[in-house]
Amino acid sequence: MQSVLDRALDCVVGALGKTTDPTGVTLHRSPDSGRARLADRAFDFTSAVPSGVRLEMLTDATELELDARLTVVQPLGLPSPGSVFDLVVDGELREPVVTTQESPVFVDLATGSLETGPDAPATVRFRLGPRAVERRVEIWLPVTPALTLIDVRVPDGASVRPAPASGPLWVHYGSSISQCSDAERPTSTWPAAVARSAGRSLVNLGLGGQCQLDPFMARAVRDLPASAISLELGINVHNADSMRERAFVPALHGFLDTIRDGHPRTPVLIISPIVCPAAEQRPGPTLVGSDGMVHTVERPAGLALGALTLTRIRELLARHVEQRREEGDDRLHLVDGTTLFGPDDVADLPDGLHPNAAGYARMAERFLPLSFGGAGAFA
């Protein structure tokens, strides 16, 4: 087997940046400059979770080996279900490839303390086909662990080169509800499922806990050659209690203004928050209890002035999207998140915040006609 790491990196789709050190190459779903200025460990970790990131190559290899360090955060005392990779060969989705060789970081839900487990890099093998003929191969990377790519190998003499794009580019920005760590496999996150059904090439900027309308993320979206843009907004602002109404409204307009600097007529679809029972009428922040359920924090009424509930965030998004449309931006659209996942769906909200795999599948089914369908925002 020969190493083709450099050629494989030329085949990466869905990442905006990368860092290289003696341990390998970490692919990031955020720009390197903005991440360095922020200098936030939680953001760095989420950025390194490769949801939607994949290798898209043309190769005559019969097999491929990938070495990676998979850093997974898991509750203390609970086993990991493993990290899942997806393989697509000439458009055919194969059986997922699962490895339990991970580098865990254990979190105690009762105290929030972290404990680092043993470092265990994984080797993952993909059987591409019995004959050495050139195929289009996609390897979708996992959606739960942070990943550092150590090496990629193919049989001696095999060729590897970037594949053409799978379709026009759709850029999606959002929260953990777009990162979809609870999806069954990388191609069944709701953005990936929609992109595959619609024949679009996806860049998924769903960053768990980090959808905070950061200006550097707006610039990243602005600078991508997108034919369609969607923004799932609001839940992380509530979770972190990072903005009140006075800051949220101009941050929203500033984010959209920056995107419009590069995409004056590209359709943009805003998705307001899906249902979260604990946060509908109560402001953040939200915390996770020892039972694994999300709850809000009690605060004196005097400190709640201007604080944002999910109901209020939906009202503000609807009002300001309509204002911009009245100003002439007729390619700006809004979807109420509760039409994608609402009160009737809470049985598939196991922690009170994040849908499970069935919930994400339902979101994909509902979003597809609203976005890429004949009467959708991106039609």
CATH number at residue 195: 3.40.50.1110
Task: Please report the beta strands in 134-200, taking only residues with DSSP state E, as ranges in sequence order.
Answer: 135-140, 146-154, 160-162, 169-174
Number of domains in the chain: 2
Q: Which of 146-160, 216-230, 287-301, 330-344 has the lowest mean pLDDT?
A: 287-301
Task: Check pLDDT > 80 for residue 60.
Answer: yes
List pLDDT tens digits, range 318-329: 999 999 999 999
User: Between the CA of residue 344 and those of 52, 274, 276, 347, 370, what are the distances in Å?
Assistant: 28, 11, 12, 8, 19
Predicted local confidence at residue 110, as pLDDT: 62
| Residues 149 and 268 placed together within one structural domain of the fold | no
Does residue 250 fall inside a structural domain?
yes
Whether residue 121 is contained in a domain is answered as yes
* Mean pLDDT, residues 9-27: 96
Boundaries of domain holding 115? 2-162
Q: Which residues contact 298 (CB under 8 A, 6 or more apart)?
A: none
Question: Does residue 202 lie in a domain region?
Answer: yes
Domain identity same for 335 and 248: yes
Residue 377 is assigned to a structural domain of this protein:
no
The structure's pTM equals 0.95
Question: Long-range contacts made by residues 293-298, C-beta under 8 angstroms, separation at least 24?
Answer: 293/351, 293/352, 294/351, 294/352, 294/353, 295/352
- CATH code for the domain in which residue 45 is found: 2.60.120.260
- Final residue belonging to a domain, choices 95, 130, 162: 162
The residue from 133, 162, 191 where one domain ends is 162
Mean residue pLDDT across the chain:
95
The DSSP output letter for 200 is -
- For residues 158 and 43, membership in a common domain is answered with yes
pLDDT of residue 111: 63
Query: Residue 312, Cβ neighbours under 10 Å: how many?
Result: 18
Own/partner contacts of 78-84, CB < 8 Å, gap of 24 or more, are: 80/104, 83/122, 83/142, 83/144, 83/145, 84/142, 84/143, 84/184, 84/185, 84/186
Query: Cβ(252)–Cβ(218) under 8 Å?
Result: no
| Together in a domain, 65 and 204 | no
Torsions phi, psi of 135, nearest 5?
-130, 160
95, 132: one domain = yes
Structure-token pair, residue 79:
């086993």
Q: What is the rounded distance in angstroms from the CA atom of residue 228 to the CA atom of residue 150?
A: 33
**Are 110 and 199 found together in one domain?**
no
254 and 128 share one domain: no
pLDDT at 292 exceeding the cut of 90: no
Of 112, 184, 110, the residue nearest 348 (C-alpha)? 184
CA-CA distance, 306 to 309, in Å (whole number)?
Answer: 9
